[in-house]
Amino acid sequence: MASTSHRALQLLSLLGSRRTWRLRDLAARLTVSERTVRRDLDTLRELGYPVLTVRGPDGGYRLGTGHALPPLLFDHDQALAIAIALQTAPSSVFGLQDDSARALATVQQAMPDTLRAAMESLRLTRLRNYWEFPAPPIDPAALTTVGTAVRLRRVLVTEVLRPDGTRAAPGEADFAAARRLEPHHLVVWAGRWYLVAYDLEDRNWRVLRVDRLHPHPTTRAFAPREPPGDDLAHFVMSSHDRGDTPAAWQCTGSARLNLPAHVVARWAPGGSVVEHLDAGHCRLTLGAWSWAGIAGILATFDTDLTDLHPPELLQACRHIARRYAGIRTAEVRQSSRD
C-alpha cells in the first residue's frame, strides 16, 4: 500500500506539469506496467482529481483545471532545483532577496525531513569570478508587465530607457518616442532578460533588453506570428542591436573586427556591445579586469584587428604578441641544443 501511495503521488506530480502524457511514457517514468498506471489513474479519479483522457493520435492523459494538488509533491532532485532557483533569483531580479529567503523557509517547513535536509545542504554563497560578466538586476514590476503581455498576447507600449534607468526628455539628443510592440517571447541569456517582439512601427522583429524598457500594458490583442528563424536562442544571441551596453569593469576598450556583426554578437561575452559597420566588419566594445584580459578575448575571434582604443589596449596586444613570439624563439633554441 505504501508503494502504491508513493507511486500515485509521483503520477500526480507528472500530471501536474500540465502536459499530456501517453500511457507508455507514464509507465516508463514510473517503471511499472501500463495496467498498473491505469489502476493508479483510477485511484486519482476516486480521490477527486480530474484526470482527463485525451483522444486521438497525440492523446493520452492530463490533469484538468480547477484542481488542487497536494502540497509539495517534490522528489529529491526537484527539492534541490527549488533551493537553487530561490537562492539565485535575487542576482537577476531586483528586490527579491528577502522574498526569496522567506519563500525558501516556507517551503522547507512544509517538507518531509529528508527533503528538508537535502535543501538545507545546498546553501549557496555567490562568489564573484573575474571572468563573470555581470548584469544589473531587473525591476520585477517591468518583468511582470512584459511577462503578462507575452502570456496574454497583448500589445505593449514601451519607452527605451538609458543604461542608468532614466528616460530622455523630448528635445534631448537621445530621445526616442514610445513604440508599440507585440511581445512574443522572453529569453534569458548571459544573465540578461531579453524580449523578442514584433515592432508595429517599423514592421520588423526586434530583440530588447527588458531592464531597458518602461512598458505600459494595453488591452489590444494580437495573433501569434512565426518567430524569426528556427532557433529563437540563436536569433537573440546573433542580434547585435539588442540594447546591450558595456558592463562596468576596471578596463573597457574596443576594436574593429574583420567579421560581420551577427557573428561577433553570437560569441561576444555578456555585457559587451557590437556595432555594425558594414557587411564584413563591426566594432566590439567590452570590458575586463585588465587590458590583457580584453586582448585575450579579442584574440578568440581569430581575425584581423584594427583601430584599437584606448592606447593601453593596443599596448597590451603588442605585449602579448611579443610574449608569444618569445615562446617560439625559446622552443627553437631548446631544439638546437638537443
Q: What is the pLDDT of residue 128?
A: 47
> Which range scores top for mean pLDDT: 33-47, 194-208, 236-250?
194-208
* pLDDT tens column, 41-60: 988 888 778 888 888 777 78
Angle at 205 between CA 200 and CA 210, to 5 degrees: 90
Q: Is the pLDDT of residue 255 over 90?
A: yes
Per residue in 277-298, pLDDT (tens digit) is 999 999 999 999 899 999 999 9
**CA–CA separation, 69 vs 66, rounded Å?**
10
Mean per-residue pLDDT of the chain: 81
User: How many Å from the N-terminal Cα to the C-terminal Cα in the chain?
Assistant: 77
Q: Considering the entire predicted model, what is its pTM?
A: 0.63
Q: Which residue has the higher pLDDT, 179 or 90?
A: 179
Quickly list DSSP for 319-338.
HHHHHHHHHHHHHHHHHHH-
Q: Closest Cα partner for 284 from 262, 243, 255?
A: 255
Identify which of 312, 281, 146 has the alpha carbon closest to the alpha carbon of residue 216: 146
Least confident span in 61-65, 121-125, 193-197, 201-205: 121-125
Nine-digit cell string for 326? 618569445
Q: What is the rounded average pLDDT of the residues 184-188?
A: 88
- CA-wise closest residue to 239 among 285, 193, 276, 188: 276
- The mean pLDDT of 142-167, rounded to a whole number, is 88
Omega before 215 cis (within 30°)?
no
Q: What is the pLDDT of residues 299-329, one digit of tens each?
A: 999 999 999 999 999 999 999 999 888 886 5
Residues in the chain, total: 338
Secondary structure of residue 154 in the 3-state scheme: strand
pLDDT in tens, 75-130: 666 666 777 677 666 556 666 666 677 777 766 666 667 666 666 655 555 444 45
211-244 pLDDT, tens digit per residue, is 889 999 999 999 999 888 778 888 888 888 888 8
Residue 242's Cβ-count burial label (10 Å; 0-12, 13-18, 19+) is buried
Domains of the chain: 2-63 (1.10.10.10), 76-120 (no CATH), 140-237 (no CATH), 251-322 (3.30.70.250)
In this prediction, residue 144 has a pLDDT band, given cuts at 50, 70 and 90, of: confident
CB 217 within 8 A of CB 145: yes
